[in-house]
Amino acid sequence: MSGKDDRGAWGSRLGFILAAAGSAVGLGNLWKFPYLTYRFGGGQGEQNGAGGFVLLYLMAIILVGIPVMIAEILIGRRGRQNPVGSFEAIRPKTAWKMTGYLGILTGFIILSYYAVVAGWTVEYVAKSVTYEFADYQAQVPDDDVKVAVYNESVEAGRAIAGGDNTSIEQNWSKYKASFDSPEALKAAVETKRAELFPVRLFHDFLASPLKQVGYFFAFMLVTVFVVLGGVSGGIERANRVLMPLLLLILLGLAGRVLTLPGGSKAISFLFKPDFSHMTFEMVLWALGQAFFSLSLGMGALLTYGSYLSKGDSIGSASLAIAGLDTLVALMASVIIFGAIFSFNLVMKDAGVGNLFTAIPVIFLSLPGGQFMVIVFYTLIMLAALTSTVSLLEVTSSYLIDERGFSRRWAVLVAGSITFAVGVPCALSFNVLSDFTIFGKTVFDLFDFFATNIALPFGGILILVFVGFVMTDAERREELSDMHPVVYVIWRFLVKYVAPVAVAFVLGALLLGKVTA
């Protein structure tokens, strides 16, 4: 079969919306957004609020995200090609196709580290099914518990035995003496163990190069398998089942968490406007996160838009996709923070692992907890899959359209290149943890470059192309069903508000005015 016949199309409009929402909803919503709100909420949770950051994020979605999304899908549907081919089809023989190449490159980069984290979810589903968590908990050595108690007492400025020279053992015997009964001590030790084991578990897991590369490979394999199935047979069919399932699971978990004592605290933590500690850094992250979470700026939605038929409304589809994506991010945060506040957890290093270290402690101590852990990690795994599928589809569609590959070869080649690029990311947590460029591991560098530079930069190019290079007649033809007033507002956002906002943030970053 020649490349052109191998393109494919959506079976229905709903299929497109679900697939695009599947691309958008992923680790960005379930892992990154809660982590950023935690970080910008002041780190310790309750005393500061994250309302300011959440508000900035919502503004970024409305003023920049949705206008860019409409622009990007519009290019895809008009060009009917992969990102490179679509720019070339609309403005032949210009340098605009470079925007497409940038997107393809960014696609390889994002997929190569994203699929590593996605691989973590597979391990965690397996662990929760076999209940390996419980065994692990019993294995936390007493010494670790003692050290934890010691560190806590030092941090609190009151090493129990007093003075700077307190040894761990001295501190421990005072600690022991502070309990009325051996049972009370035992209970306290078990609680400590329960808090410690997920962190140990996670660090042991990261330290294994074999597991990191193995799960990454496994996840790429499944992604390749779905994309091989093609647009309506593979991607659409998978998303039709997975997206509704995901929403149901989230609703169930959110409902459960809201009955816990921390549920209402989570709501006020997230939604009470709090502008007392807004920083410019928050603006940078809110904007980058909007691009990342909505899958914008590198041609994923452009590619999905290229399979959309002429009669379908781009405006209302975009609204639905962005709405769903935002809803999922907020629900995930309610679940995670509700659980954290209910258990007074302090997530010490607010790094990549929070989703993997906090959730087991929380859910396993609830009735039916094992079931909830299984459900939760399965949900994250599936959400990640529908995103990796969209990333691999971008690079594959380029090989199909531009290089005349059959779908099968395109997917296998793109998948293999991604795997090769991703191995150093998988090794960033063990063998290559000391290998840094600009002070970042390969994993962190890829994430930073993609989220904070490549996607917003791609976004500006898309905005300028649609806002200034395309004519009103061309734009109008693709958005014929849009109300004239809405159209004028959208055009204003695309031409002025969004590019200026993104350029401002990107400029500040490149001039070193904000730190990463």
Instruction: Point out which residues bind ligand PHE (CB under 6 A).
Output: 23-24, 26-29, 110, 292-293, 295, 298, 300, 387, 390-391
The smaller minimum CB distance to ligand PHE, of residues 104 and 334, is found at 104
- Beta bridge partners, 437, equal 440
Closer residue to ligand PHE in complex, CB, 329/482 = 329
Closest approach of Cβ 106 to ligand PHE, in Å? 8
Q: Which helix (H) or strand (E) holds 398?
A: helix 369-403
User: Which residue, among 256, 274, 257, 254, has the nearest Cα to 340 in the 3D structure?
Assistant: 257
The DSSP element (H or E) to which 455 belongs, if any, is: helix 455-464
Residue whose beta carbon is closest to ligand PHE: 28
Smallest distance, Å, CB 191 to ligand PHE?
34
Residue 119: closest CA among 261, 32, 221: 221
- Residues 16, 308 contacting (CB under 8 angstroms): yes
Q: How far is the CB of 24 from ligand PHE (least distance, A)?
A: 5
Q: Find the shortest distance in angstroms from Cβ 391 to ligand PHE.
A: 5
| Choice between 292 and 446, CB closer to ligand PHE | 292
Look-up: residue for tokens 């009103």?
A: 472
Q: How far is CA 419 from CA 31, 188, 253, 412, 415, in A?
A: 22, 45, 34, 10, 6
Dist. CA 411–CA 399, nearest whole Å: 8
Q: What is the DSSP string of 49-105?
A: --HHHHHHHHHHIIIIIHHHHHHHHHHHHHH-S-HHHHHHHHSTTSTTHHHHHHHHH
Beta bridge partners of 440: 437
Q: Which is nearer to ligand PHE, 137 or 387 (CB)?
A: 387
Nearer to ligand PHE, 199 or 301 (CB): 301
By beta-carbon proximity to ligand PHE, the closer residue of 390 and 428 is 390
Least Å distance, CB 379 to ligand PHE, is 13
Running DSSP on this structure, what letter comes out for residue 454?
I
Residue with Cβ nearer ligand PHE (232 or 390): 390
To the nearest whole angstrom, how small is the minimum distance from the Cβ of residue 17 to ligand PHE?
Answer: 15
Minimum separation from the CB atom of position 31 to ligand PHE (A): 8
Contact 110, 448 (CB under 8 A): no
